[in-house]
Structure 1
Amino acid sequence: MHETNTGLQELVRTGAWTTEPMRAEWGADGELLVEAREESDAWRETSYGFVHDSAHALLSPFGAREAVEVTFVLDYDQQFDQAGVMIRVDESTWIKAGVEVSDGAAQVGAVVTHGVSDWSVAPVPEWMGREVTVRASRDGGAVTIRARVDDEPWRLVRVAPLSPTADARAGLFCCAPTRAGLVVRFVAHRRGEVDAALH
């Protein structure tokens, strides 16, 4: 069993799904296998004009000064397949960050939503087939999002606003907007202290 899977077990025990996936079950090595429903997604309005609020996010309470990390295997490759961390206040206030396949390449990025969604990405094709960790550190009125593959240095992905008084929940998520059959292998979930500094 992965050494940090006690965190996954705790999330499964205490968390709740925003939208139930097709299935969520333990794998042979202690990983959590989550199969997404076709057309699952999280987006509000911007550019596309639609609202989708069907992401499979397993969330538990997230403090005003707390960090969350999710680790998963990047072994998916279809358009808009995605997995990572989600922080959610309500249907119109949330942040998702992770790796999404877009235009034929794996892209690390984030969607920040305050009424409408705002998306940013950067290509990371060299991350394919490896363990990706996404970290969101909430402190004051900001969430700092970082990501890395294996034990490489952290990359800063985004700094986003979130009210320090917001009643938020956080955890893992995945979506499959364009197809059936996406199964994401989540190998770790951790909670801990906030980042000491932005840089």
Structure 2
Amino acid sequence: MYVRTLAVMIDIDWSTGTWTTPPARVDVADDGMQVTAVEGSDAWRTTSYGFVHDTEHALLAPFGQDTAVEVSFRLDFTEQFDQAGVFVKVDDATWIKTGVERSDGVDSLGAVVTRGMSDWSLSPVPDWHGRVVTVRASRSGDALTVRARVDDEPWRLVRVAPLDPDAEVAAGPMCCSPSRGDLTVRFTSWRTGPADEGLHPDG
């Protein structure tokens, strides 16, 4: 999907954010940030599973109206529910996580939208493995629009979700490791810029 986005994206310094839950290890270098997740880390509220997990590793900074945030990472997941992407948080019961998650042996692009209770959508992307994935969350009006792509391929629309235009929101890179204790995600960039100009491509 073609989408008119920004003219220029600006890097966000890794030191700008605050972790919702500290990871087991964080290493920052010139080429990005490596994050090792704690075993059992996850974000979910109630639906189907009956539990509340709020131990995700999300590095958050303020996310204002009419702006977008992009997170890139190298996709090399191997275990059930390994995941990384973008976390957008209003409060403990109102948040969105979106990116790639390994589910039942397949890397899938998706989102969990939570407003008291979570929902979950996935679309398999097996050909993305071993490549750099970029997830883009764009805030405009009463909506959050999520797009993603691999390498320099066209953007794909992932989700359009309601987001209170007056809410104080924070967003940034996220990873979770519900099933193992040695997941390390290499984030290659965290950037911000103007929100996308429209939901659909021009004529």
Any idea what the Cα deviations from partners look like across 1:74-125, whole Å, max 9, x if unmatched?
A: 0112100000001001110000000000011000000000000010000000
- State the alpha-carbon separation in 1 of the partners of residues 98 and 104 from structure 2: 18
| C-alpha distance in 1 between matches for 2:181 and 2:39 | 4
Matched to 1:22, the amino acid is A
- Aligned runs of 1:73-88 on 2, under 5 Å? 73-88=74-89
Find the counterpart in structure 2 of residue 7 from structure 1: 11
Distance 2:184 2:64 in 1: 29
Deviation at 1:15, TM superposition (A): 1.0
The ranges of structure 1 where at least 4 consecutive aligned residues each deviate by more than 6 angstroms after the TM superposition are none
The offset of 1:31, in angstroms, is: 1.7
Distance 1:13 1:25 in 2: 11
Matched residue of 2:11: which SS? helix
State the number of aligned residues.
192
1:6-51 Cα shifts (integer Å, max 9, x gaps): 825x1x2221000000011124x52200000000000000000000
Q: For 1:4-43, list aligned pairs within 5 A.
A: 7-8=11-12, 10=13, 12-27=14-29, 30-43=31-44
Distance 2:16 2:122 in 1: 31
Does 2:150 align with 1:149? yes
Q: Aligned AA for 1:166? A: A
Segments of 5+ residues of structure 1 without an aligned counterpart are 1-5
- 1:1-199 matches, within 5 Å, as 7-8=11-12, 10=13, 12-27=14-29, 30-199=31-200
When normalised by structure 2's length, the TM-score is 0.92
Q: Structure 2 CA distance, aligned partners of 1:39 and 1:56?
A: 11
Distance 2:104 2:61 in 1: 32
Corresponding letter in the other structure for 2:24: M
- How far apart, CA to CA, are the structure 2 residues paired with 1:172 and 1:26? 13
The Cα of 1:65 is off from its aligned counterpart by 1.4
Q: CA deviation at 1:68?
A: 0.4
RMSD across aligned positions (CA): 1.3
**Distance (Å, rounded) in 1 between the aligned partners of 2:114 and 2:36:** 25
Superposition deviation, residue 191 in structure 1 = 0.3
Amino acid at match of 1:62: F
- Identity rate, percent: 61
Q: Which amino acid aligns with 2:101?
A: E
Equivalent-residue separation in structure 1 for 2:63 and 2:197 (angstroms):
18
Matches of 2:78 and 2:162, distance apart in 1: 30
Unpaired stretches in structure 2, ≥5 consecutive residues: 1-9
Give the TM-score of the pair, scaled to structure 1: 0.94
